[in-house]
Structure 1
Amino acid sequence: MSDLDAIDRKILGHLQADGRITMQELAGKVGLSVSPCHRRVKLLEERGVITRYIASVDQKALGLHVSVFISIKLARQKEEDLKRFEKAISAWPEVLECYLMTGNRDYLLRVVAADLSSYEAFLKTKLTRLDGIASIESSFALSQVKYSIALPV
């Protein structure tokens, strides 16, 4: 949002780095007293700038060692086909991200799995059973070079 001032941006930066920071610590870091800082945070939440607070969990610590990027081409790009696909994949916990794309493919998915066998099971029991998919192309990540959920503020 373009109407964020420098203090709002500082607040967002600190909250993205540590969502568990106390209001007192946050206020000190952005140069406000606690009450005005709290009001600003509440306003950012009410305006939908802050959408939620989460714990970032290490994928490999949960035994999810495989990351796969999947390009999907649908047989048709009619609105009902897009909605049906989106509804189906939204229910699958293995799918962490899904983007409607321009270009050769209709969707790009990021999927996690414990191992290749688990990914194969996901592919066979879920993805390939969806009607309307023309092609599926999987690319396996060898290593993660950078990962961030913090937006530049």
Structure 2
Amino acid sequence: MQLDRADRKLLRVLVSNGRATQQELGEAAGLSPSAAARRQKGLEDAGIVRGYRADVNLRKLGMGATVMVTITLDSQSEEAMGTFEAAVVESPSIIRCHLMSGRNDYLLVVRATSIEDYEIIHRQEIARLPRVARIETAFALREVVNRTVPPRLLG
């Protein structure tokens, strides 16, 4: 689907406010509310807008430590990767997992209440993941940018 100027304006509003009304969307894109609703539905049907979710401030919920964990498996076979990925999906402390190119196989993002809490997560979850040969951990000192969409995409 090729996005035009109105679609980009709708996306810009939806990225910053997923609960925007059809009236607000229409005003932002220079469309009637019904036209904005049709375009929004088109973006959803095309799979460009995959859903809407709350942006939860984990720090306010006591999850102040962001931990980046790189994982190298003992094998890059389909079986090893599949077994590892299935276990990651079941791990309650991992919020993101990326298959990587380069030296490490995976990058995990974990949220914890503290370094001490992460130590428990490491022992009880991360170190027990199957087929892991090496684990390296880094703690984020501060979040500088957290975007769901690069601004250049939205014009």
TM-score by length of 1: 0.94
Distance in structure 2 (CA, Å) of the matches to 1:79 and 1:148? 32
Distance in structure 2 (CA, Å) of the matches to 1:20 and 1:150? 17
Number of residue equivalences:
152
**Is the CA contact 2:71–2:107 (under 8 Å) kept in the aligned structure 1?**
yes
SS in 1 for 2:109: strand
Shift of 1:70: 0.5
Distance in structure 2 (CA, Å) of the matches to 1:151 and 1:12? 12
> 4+ residue runs of structure 1 moved beyond 3 angstroms?
none
Match for residue 133 of structure 2? 134
Match for residue 7 of structure 2? 8
TM-score by length of 2: 0.93
Shift of 1:93: 3.2
Shift of 1:118: 1.4
Q: Which amino acid aligns with 1:128?
A: A
Question: Is 1:78 the equivalent of 2:74?
Answer: no
Q: Deviations over 1:28-83 (max 9, x none)?
A: 11100111111110111111100010110112101001111001000000011111
Q: Deviations over 1:100-146 (max 9, x none)?
A: 11111000111110112211111111111122100000001111122
Which segments of 5 or more consecutive residues in structure 1 lack a partner in the other structure? none
